[in-house]
Chains A and B, each alone.
Chain A
Amino acid sequence: MKAETPKSTGSGFGEAIMVPVRLAMGLVDAPLRWVQRKFGLGGMAAFFLLPNMLIFGIFVLLPFFINFAYSMTGGTALFLDDRTFVGTDQYTRLFDCSNYLDPNSCTEDTFWTAVGNTAWFVVLQVTLMILFSLVTALILNRELTARSFWRAVFFFPVLLSPVVVGLIWKWILQRQGLLNFGLYGFGFQPYTWLNDRNWAFAATVGVSIWAHMGFYTLILLAGLQAIPKDLYEAAEMDGTRPARAFWRITLPLLMPNLLVVIVLVLIRAVQIFDEVYVLTGGGPGTSTLYLTQYIYETGFATQLRNPGLAAAASILMGGVLIVLTLIQLGLGRSSEKKGSRK
């Protein structure tokens, strides 16, 4: 088998560009042929995956195992060598509870408060995120005036740094913020939104939806645009109502994209940290303290840090994320199978 050389574009400029490309291909041709001869086609796949796997190993797997090792140690020292082996003590401490639904009955009550807050956040944020992203994608898929502009408007917050997002909303929601200024202008009494447990929680959900919705809308929009138009035309000719077309055509055909979005949103919701840390700092009290902030505070921000306890909590969180990823893979595969049967 001979490596195919890129064809000339015809113009002198194109020819000039192709010279280094041809040179580079000529250089890699011989070693790649050798690899293929030596390891076969399967080996070639492994060869091309190797750099990615190496990076994954160094930056994901290795830290995971180091983190696990830390979770088995105690003390405040930073280096593993200086830490004492305590077995599963850190996990025992995290799970030491007489009633898991009442954080105050647990030794590490803050951990369970963070778990509870994160669970509520995930349920609310994921549901609303999917709903709003879907509705927005459906609207943006219609023939609108200045459609590109509206698409850009919804995508713009995705480009912002989470710290900027947190600060913008803090300036809006704080006591002397923009919202209260507006309310005051209309004769209403200002309100300390971020000091109220429920409003602060709602703000973290709302802000995270505002910040990330554009990305998921884009994925769903791509799915909507891939649905053949003739299906809708046929349904219309049969007199199908729009709502029925949505449930019978749009939703089933959008399901693969929707599954990807659901799992991505779920994973990101469990990891929520940066914009909330800037917006509420986990307050008022601990009402917006989520799991990642608990890990950060325990491992880095408190006096006499406890890296072992933080590592144990992050291993547990990692476990949840692995389960969510496996669910995504499972659902993706079953969706592919269904698709191929059809």
Chain B
Amino acid sequence: MTKTGTMLAAFAVGLLTSTAATAGDVRIMWYSDGVEGEVLKDLLDRFMKENPGINVILDNVSYSVVREQLPVQLEAGNGPDIARVTNLKAQSQHWLDLRPFVGDPAYWDANFGDQADWMRPDGSNQISGFMTQITIAGGFANKTLFDQAGVAIPGKDATWDEWAKAAKQVAESQQVPFPMALDRSGHRLSGPNLSFGANYIGADGKPAPLDEGSKAFLEKFVGWIADGTMSKDVWVSAAGSTYRAAADDFINGQLVYYYSGSWQIPNFSTKIGSNFDWVATGSPCGPANCTGMTGGAGLVAVKYTKNPKEVAKVMDYLAREDIVKEFSERTLFLPAHKGVVAKGLDFKTDDAQAKAALAEFIDASKTLSDLARKLPGWHWSDTVYGALVTRVSQAAAGEMPLDEAVTRIDADIAAKVKDSGL
């Protein structure tokens, strides 16, 4: 190669790698539901003071970037060094095994072992990361509206039908547009499905066709959307599997009962303030049980990192008991760390409603069904959730009857399984 050619090649390589991480850089892709981005930044600033050789770059992105762009980056062998992800299991082939790099693997196993399988390939003992928060799906009621309407808030063992009836009564009395709303999410829809006896997992470990349990709740759900009991806005507001929350309607006092999850607590605490009283209610009951869904966001190391040792140092720091405790107390998130949970938390909020809601969700975690605990670690969960959302929203929009939607859900899932080649 000539001298000019060599120089040009060197320039090209330099140009191509100029955006890549340099030694000591650790890039984190992070999304926030509430204030956790700010809390993390504060924690990382302290880490960098303690470890001047490691420069942690925090990229705050929207949840849709994590859902839609990160998977493509990972498939291409790129991406950040660490990412906060909810779709953990299906992408587990991209996570770095931290076991050889972390200071004390036994500490990780002891404190985060219960959820380790949610984020590692089946059959491995890999340490991929840890859950930044455990979430429990459940409901919230606008207590002020109930009080003003003179309707009693349904009790702990109230069924979905009882909640629907009460919420409708309140909405009619208080001229509120929506009695109930449920996030446009397959994960959220799965809680009530399971409480109606659904089982998604077939004998071979692959998705089973939707059973009578799922059909029973879906029929109810689509019927509620048709008769105005359930907010139509959220479910028909997009095509495909796009996520939509109804949190803003609840915050604006337009909604009597909102089925979402524990991650909304800091959001409600900040935005609702003293505008009205609200309470967390756990999950309504179906014929089979009163389960919600569990899940959460995990912080995982990406195996394409150039700096695995530095990544492990950052992860070791963020997984430390005192750091997890501080992060959870300041963000009002339920921690996954066993030691922190055992010793108890003092959530940093003056909001009695938020504290009560957190206690309610901790209580609700005891009524989770076995299947609800198993689904976050099941490879096909998100495939099922995506198909559910896509087709149920078509049925909700009146494009197809529910029977056909169910047939399509089964066909969509079967096609995805076939496409995956697994």
Contacts and interface: CB of A to CB of B under 8 A. Distances in A.
Interface of A: 74-79, 84, 104, 107, 109-110, 175-176, 192, 194-195, 197, 280-289, 293, 297, 300-306
A285 B239 CA distance: 6
A175 to B, nearest CB: 6
Contacts of B4: none
Given A284-B397, A286-B399, A195 B233 contact: yes
A284 B237 contact: yes
Given A281-B238, A301-B242, A303-B383, A76 B419 contact: yes
10 contacts: A75-B420, A76-B420, A104-B404, A281-B239, A287-B397, A288-B239, A289-B239, A297-B241, A303-B382, A304-B416
**B-side interface size class:** 35 or more
Contact of A281 (B76, B242, B386, B421): B242
A288 B399 CA distance: 12
Contact of B68 (A78, A293, A301): A301
Contact of A77 (B67, B75, B386, B408): B75
A285 B396 contact: yes
B27 interface: no
B71 A305 contact: yes
Top-9 shortest CB links A-B: A285-B397, A282-B239, A281-B238, A284-B236, A78-B75, A285-B399, A289-B239, A303-B382, A303-B386
A282 B240 contact: yes
Contacts of B68: 300-301
Contact of B72 (A75, A175, A300): A300
Contacts of A284: 232, 236-237, 397
Nearest to B67: A301
Interface string B240-278: 111010000000100000000000000000000000000
A74 B396 CA distance: 32
A84 B76 CA distance: 17
B229 interface: no
Given A75-B421, A287-B397, 14 more contacts: A77-B75, A78-B72, A84-B421, A110-B239, A192-B232, A195-B233, A282-B242, A286-B394, A288-B239, A289-B240, A293-B239, A293-B240, A302-B240, A304-B420
A192 B419 contact: no
A109 B408 contact: yes
Contacts of B393: 283, 285
A22 to B, nearest CB: 29
B118 to A, nearest CB: 16
B237 A283 contact: yes
B87 interface: yes
B419 A281 contact: no
Contacts of B252: 176
Interface string B220-233: 00000000000011
Contacts of A297: 239-241
B397 A197 contact: yes
Contacts of B236: 195, 283-285
B103 interface: no
A283 B397 contact: yes
B239 A286 contact: yes
B113 interface: no
Contacts of A305: 71-72
B394 A285 contact: yes
B90 interface: yes
B110 interface: no
B400 interface: yes
Contacts of B383: 303-304
B150 interface: no
Nearest to A174: B233
Contacts of B197: none
A281 B385 CA distance: 18
Contacts of B421: 75-76, 84
Interface in B75-91: 75-76, 87, 90
B398 interface: yes
A105 to B, nearest CB: 11
B400 A282 contact: no
B238 A282 contact: yes
Contacts of B382: 303
B240 to A, nearest CB: 4
A301 B240 contact: yes
Contact of B385 (A283, A287, A303): A303
A297 B383 CA distance: 14
B154 interface: no
Contacts of A301: 67-68, 240-242
Given A281-B242, A285-B239, A297-B239, A78 B397 contact: no
Of the candidates A77, A289, A297, the one having the most CB atoms from chain B within 10 angstroms of its own CB is: A297
Contacts of B416: 303-304
